[in-house]
Amino acid sequence: MLGTIDSRPLNVVIPLKQARALHKHLGMETCGDLLRHYPRKYLHYGSGSALEGTREGDTVSVIGHVVNAQRIPRGGKPIYKITVNDGHHAIGATFFGSQYAMRVLTEGKRVMLTGKLSYYRQTPQLQHPDFVLLDGPTQATGALKQLSHFGDLEEILSGREWLPLYPASSKVSTWTIMGAVHAVLATLPKVEEPLGFTPIGYKSLDRAIRGIHEPGPAGPDAARKRLKYEEASGIALVMAVRRAERATEGAAALPHVRGGDMDKLVRHLPFPLTDGQKFVLGEITSDMERQRPMSRLLQGEVGSGKTIVSLLAMLQAVDNGAQCALLAPTEVLTLQHARSLQETTMRAGLPTRVVALTGSMSAARRQDALLKIVSGEADIVVGTHALIQEGVEFFRLGLVVVDEQHRFGVEQRDALRAKSGENPPHLLVMTATPIPRTMAITVFGDLEISTLRELPGGRKPILSSLVPEFKPNWVMRAWEKIREEAAAGHQAYIVCPRIDGDGGVLDTAEVLAATQFDGLSVGVLHGRMKGEEKDAVMGDFAAGGTDVLVATTVIEVGVDVPNATVMMVRESEHFGVSQLHQLRGRVGRGGNASLCLFHTLAEEGTSAFERVRQVAATSDGFALAELDLRSRQEGDILGVNQSGSKRTLRLINLVDDYDIVRRAYDDAEIFVEQHPELARRAKDALLSTVPEEWEYIDKS
């Protein structure tokens, strides 16, 4: 969020004991930290939300009117039963020997109950709940007494139609937070607009801060909408300033050289470019011809042909005497890319020199690679994070391509850009994980976006099937299918979620070689192997020397073996949605009918089983990306372990709030254009308060 809400230390506004508890258990130091700890939901008569999403045994809070009260004599301690209607449910509450409850909880009274939920004959019940009357003089019972630490209960609760429930901990209850917020709001000076104006159509920031914690009769929606806009505005302003700064940077223009290596490769490709590839390539070519650094994100379905587009872009740079760097997330992918790019250019008769650089290279090989890079002998340098390290110097770096953008942070890609010296290089980042539009402009808002949806001609859809462990006949048929594909001269992947132990790569490979795949060659690939070993195994598989490759997710991206037609992902419930989609894309790359089998140990009806079932049911990467985003917290998208008061996005839903985010980005663009210095200062102030949250954009 732009600006500071309230910088006062908590201990000068609320009691010291409660201030210390908020600091120790929720990381709050200032009143502003507390006010940015927004309610997770509200109690409101008639909303029907009190029991929504709850299970028996949960502690719940209910607001309603007492519609029935009954005293049942029983020895020395009578039982008192009431029924409260919250406008949606009739909820029973039982008190044992409480004279105070019998005296005040009479029919017609408005009350809040908090207790453990149980069911009796399908009717919700609360056993001896804590309670507080919401009309007239009252006193709280049990945990609700914590509200009295912050003032008079009647003053705190009077007239409220909406009561906030906060994310809490075992040591700090929602009532402590509610009372502390009330005390802070009672002494809060007017919150000023961080950019000097209230956006048209929104509440003022001051009213929004107050209204989200203590809503009026209309509820919290308008306040929540303004605060979502405020969250989006912070990120939008940073992105808009970055774009404006990039626009002033000078880059070497790398125009399309007619008849150069780029054109020669197009003529010698064994397949025609798709219309989508031609369009995207036109966008990239146009960007690189300008004396302004290109910053473009290329997203596309698995197998849509992003790599050949990036190679053509690199050859456009090489045609102009510039070098290119291709940053890949793993050694396996680095070596695969280097081999594939060299073979592709050699088949076209091009003199392109491709050099690989990885962290596990021997000292001699590394020194040789570094000399080729710094002397300009290397045209295209493919590397892992090793490319970013000190000691790697380029002769004339003109284009940086980042493969699998979600594996690298902003600072990582900027570190590589900085190696070009005076003129920053053009930048193309790629991802095969389609990005929902709100996430795209939020996380990648400093980049222009190109999208490839069309698959190259000849590609057949990959069939997918769910293979639950609780259906042993299906599992046996899956092994049989792999044997059939091997007998037909094709190859298979088996992906495991771990290296060691039951179900790991080593155990699985040994068991399958001795049982299901007798007579077939079974290879093993995992992350603990040395770079040369990985390269040898992958090279043997690519050459057809191995029938079945048992691997971890080191083969998740970029690996291209056209003869592989079947994959089984073991224990699919351990992988994310986008990861499963990526893995599936390793087959079906050679024009043959292909199959991906999603094995799972999850029980039918569980969320894990349903997630895998949905992946198996659709091959639309964009639909799966939204499913993936809905199942994850927004903190994962920024790739930071965000907790307590330090998270950037607290309210925005990156699937549903596109209109708010789009408005914030449009407004930020105008503001940066009209007030560049003020925008830059606001950006610097924001980043100075949350530096770790902007260090990496990494959702893996």
State the DSSP H helix or E strand holding residue 119, giving kind and residue range, or none if neither.
Answer: strand 110-120
Half-sphere exposure of 447 (CA within 13 A, CB side): 26
- The range of the structural domain enclosing residue 594 comes to 462-618
Tell me the per-residue pLDDT of 652-678, one tens digit each, with 9 for 90 and over: 887 788 899 889 999 999 999 999 999
Do 76 and 186 share a structural domain? yes
Helices (H) then strands (E): counts for the chain: 23, 21
The answer to whether position 634 is within a domain reads no
> Do residues 296 and 442 share a domain?
yes
DSSP string, 537-555: HHHHHHTT--SEEEE-GGG
From 695, 671, 699, 658, select the one nearest 229 (Cα to Cα): 658
- The two tokens of residue 151 are 């003032």
Distance in angstroms (rounded) separating the CA atoms of residues 94 and 104: 14
Domain for residue 372, yes or no?
yes
Q: Write down the pLDDT at residue 642.
A: 30
Per-residue pLDDT reduced to its tens digit, 331-382 = 888 888 899 999 999 999 999 999 999 888 889 999 999 999 999 999 999 9
Report pTM. 0.71
Residues 511-560: tens digit of each pLDDT: 999 999 999 999 999 989 987 888 889 889 999 999 999 999 888 766 78
Domain-terminating residue out of 583, 618, 653: 618
| Unique residue bearing structure tokens 């980005």 | 665
Helix extents (H) in 105-151: none
Residues 447 and 474 in one domain: no
46-61 tens-digit pLDDT: 666 678 778 888 888 8
Q: Do residues 30 and 176 share a domain?
A: yes
In a domain, 549, yes or no: yes
Residue 198, Cβ neighbours under 10 Å: how many? 15
- Do 338 and 425 lie in one domain? The reply is yes
Q: Are residues 548 and 567 in the same domain?
A: yes
pLDDT of residue 3: 73
Statement to judge: residues 549 and 580 lie in one domain = yes
pLDDT (tens digit per residue) in 124-172: 999 889 898 887 667 788 878 888 899 888 788 877 888 899 998 888 9
Say yes or no: 52 and 31 in one domain: yes
- Do 38 and 102 have their domain in common? yes
CATH code of the domain covering residue 35: 2.40.50.140
Considering the domain boundaries, does residue 229 fall inside one?
A: no
HEC profile for 49-114?
Answer: CCCCCCCCCCEEEEEEEEEEEEEECCCCCCEEEEEEECCCCEEEEEEECCHHHHHHCCCCCEEEEE
Tally the domains of the chain. Answer: 3
